[in-house]
Copies of this chain bind each other. A is one copy, B any other.
């Protein structure tokens, strides 16, 4: 997805939100915004938003000196999600279509996104997403391709959401490589967050190498790129991965809640819609 003009004010909101989690020093916070101001002119609209996101969160780390501002929040999200895990599992097991219910649960977990906001009620979101109509619903194609593939490349998004992903991974019954970010960025899951969620019990965890808040291929490592290029079934969770990968020429299924109106508009849906969208299917 390209950068929309509307993304620019949002870059400043995001930087301030992340900065405030790292420090209360107004001078440092102003310096973050000043420096982002200076780079706006160098951001072509052709770039994807995560390319700029990467620079923004680098600035936050550099100026505040805090490498992982969301660490505590990520831990809490994972603990909260782990406490819900038995309920999520029983919801799947008591449903008519277990795979679809697990997909819905994985999408519900995508609300745990501190890049967009920091107010949500996870139980309420689960309840809503379990019965909500999909705005885009490529479920038949998803099942067809899933049946044919030998391995799933599952590109994760946020810490805590990882536990919801685990529920879907367990339901797909195929070998899974679960991809995390290399460097902490917002509350996106890194290796330790995935371990904390128990992803290592159900999948092979792999760092993509990126520090962008989305799986930005030009920043990914060779190991990831080798696997990605050969992959026949990719799942990409959340907005950041959609932004980074929506123009790819490979089969990808995006699972997300459209939390931002700009992204919703790019996909052609409304804000708050839930999406199971395949490209190149």
* A37-B41 contact given A9-B9, A29-B5, CB 8 Å threshold: yes
- A5: contacting residue among B10, B26, B35, CB under 8 A: B26
Expressed in whole angstroms, the Cα–Cα distance for A41 and B8 within the complex equals 16
- Which residues of chain B come closer than 8 Å to A16, judged between CB atoms? 5-6, 8-9
Q: How many copies does the complex hold?
A: 2
Residues A18-61 near B (CB distance < 8 A): 26, 29-30, 33-41, 45
* Count class of interface residues, chain A: 20 to 34
Residues A200-256 near B (CB distance < 8 A): none
- The reply to whether the CB of A12 lies closer than 8 angstroms to some CB of chain B is yes
A22 to chain B, nearest CB (A): 13
Q: A40–B33 contact, CB under 8 A?
A: yes
Listed in ascending order, the chain A residues whose CB lies under 8 Å from chain B are: 5-6, 8-13, 16, 26, 29-30, 33-41, 45
CB pairs A–B below 8 angstroms (15 shown): A5-B33, A8-B37, A9-B13, A12-B12, A26-B45, A30-B45, A34-B40, A34-B41, A35-B41, A37-B37, A37-B38, A37-B40, A37-B41, A38-B38, A38-B41
